Copies of this chain bind each other. A is one copy, B any other.
Amino acid sequence: MSYQLLEQRFQQLHHLQHLQAICGWDQATMMPDGGNQARGAALAELALLHHQKLTSVEVADWLNTAENEELSDAQKANLHEMRRRWQNAALLPDDLVQARALAGSRCEHAWRGQRKNNDWKGFEPNLKVVVDLTREAAQIRAEALELSPYDSLIDLYEPGMTSNQLLRIFNDLKTWLPQIIRQAGERQSQYSPVKPEGPFPAGRQKSLGLHAMKMLGFDFNHGRLDISTHPFCGGVPEDVRITTRYNENDFMSSLMGVIHETGHARYEQGLPVAWRGQPVGEARSMGIHESQSLFFEMQLARHPAFLHRMAPLIKQHFGDQPALEADNLIQLYSRIEPGFIRVDADELTYPAHIILRFEIEQALIEGKIQVHDLPEVWNTKMQQYLGLSTKGNDAMGCMQDIHWTDGSFGYFPSYTLGAIYAAQFAGAIERDIGNIGDLIASDNGLSLIFNWLKNNVWEKASLLSTDELICQATGEPLNTQWFRHYLEQRYTML
């Protein structure tokens, strides 16, 4: 049966991805600089092999034949995901793929220096090549998938999502979020929390992070915590590698970083064992992935009830000081402040960063604006959404993110979708089990929450579409009311 042959082939591909994941993790955490060139060459070879095995002619035949074979629902879903992966790999001609990889790695590499020097003039021509090639790729994908060019890119990260739906969601946020931001600002002006005083030795921070991971159910028999410049969740479901970095003057961001990655990790560790190695057994989408990390970070860890549990542990690690009292930590962990940099943004102003990027990259891919226009458009929107000017400071503006340098247009919306999904899951959990604060404060409440996530999200992997997953888990389609409700609760009513 062709379907069986496909399962075998994807199992092989899964093994290759395993090697990629571990060697990629090693590159970011362990490898000395001098090993970089050889590692790059080895990983490129592996990527080529993976591409060849995924796009070889027999795969297309098997995919077509398997459509007429007797399959279970899960197998049908698997076949659907197989076709998606095959399409994503096979749609674009090899020379375009290579040209994009080359332009992307050149642009990204130069960008690391150019951003430091606020060198838009140097960056612009490189980015233009990347955008031109991405438009070409989007055009080809759009025709094959019968989507708009930009939607064909969104589909890579958030299958089934469209820019129209995003537009509705984001326009909705725009109507009520500014009001919450205002109220939160007024409220926080009444408090003046104390900043914890370091140093906070890296070893102690690591121990604290491990404690938090344990509380949050990370399975250390199938994963570990290490250090890298840019924190990430990597590895494979059987062996999830999360990373953080330590600033000895500030333990707070690393602690939340570890908890965020723990959310990603538990999703991976919780994917269904029966479907290991098959596309349908993988994470549903980037947005659903981010919903799990944000659920752990925002819905759980920054919750007052959680910080009440953490405070004694934090004091155990760093000694007693007034700043480490639970109430002070709660105030610190919910402060908001509009800023230039997306990755430093708080939960309330983060969506503005995403909406801005969404609007810009849609216009850019559809040719309504050009690379040349980016600094000005960025500045205009930043003034409009966050009251900040980036004029003459592109390093803090349109040059701040890595995503565009290698052509990952269409990715940004996943971040805010994740926040919205997370709040909707939280709403359903409160309906199904009980108040999240009470659950956190109780003995086995966290386990109940994790069970709910396991049953409704992790174990579902890609067996359902994102729409179906959300509907089955929460009883309603994707909507922003839970996100609004949650933000109001957290930031205006405390």
Residues of chain A touching chain B, judged by Cβ–Cβ distance below 8 Å, are: 12, 15-16, 18-19, 22-23, 26, 30-35, 37-39, 41-46, 49, 219-224, 235-236, 238-239, 276
One of B12, B45, B239 near A45 (C-beta < 8 A): B12
How far does the alpha carbon of A391 sit from the alpha carbon of B39 in the complex, in Å? 50
Closest B residue to A29 by beta carbon equals B30
The binding surface of chain A is classed by DSSP as: helix
Closest B residue to A32 by beta carbon equals B221
Task: Write out the residue numbers on chain B whose beta carbons fall within 8 Å of the beta carbon of A224.
Answer: 30, 32
* Chain B proximity of A234: nearest CB distance (Å): 12
How far does the alpha carbon of A30 sit from the alpha carbon of B222 in the complex, in Å? 11
A45 & B32 in contact (Cβ 8 Å cutoff): no
Task: Write out the residue numbers on chain B whose beta carbons fall within 8 Å of the beta carbon of A19.
Answer: 19, 23, 42-43, 46
Closest B residue to A269 by beta carbon equals B34
B34 & A219 in contact (Cβ 8 Å cutoff): yes
How far does the alpha carbon of A49 sit from the alpha carbon of B35 in the complex, in Å? 24
B32 & A220 in contact (Cβ 8 Å cutoff): yes
Task: Write out the residue numbers on chain B whose beta carbons fall within 8 Å of the beta carbon of A44.
Answer: 15
Task: Write out the residue numbers on chain B whose beta carbons fall within 8 Å of the beta carbon of A26.
Answer: 22, 26
How far does the alpha carbon of A21 sit from the alpha carbon of B45 in the complex, in Å? 15
A42 & B23 in contact (Cβ 8 Å cutoff): no
B18 & A236 in contact (Cβ 8 Å cutoff): no
Given contacts A221-B34, A222-B32, A223-B32, contact A15 B239 (CB under 8 A): no
How far does the alpha carbon of A22 sit from the alpha carbon of B27 in the complex, in Å? 10
One of B12, B16, B35, B219 near A239 (C-beta < 8 A): B35
B30 & A42 in contact (Cβ 8 Å cutoff): no
Task: Write out the residue numbers on chain B whose beta carbons fall within 8 Å of the beta carbon of A223.
Answer: 32
One of B16, B34, B220 near A238 (C-beta < 8 A): B34
Given contacts A12-B45, A26-B26, contact A222 B18 (CB under 8 A): no
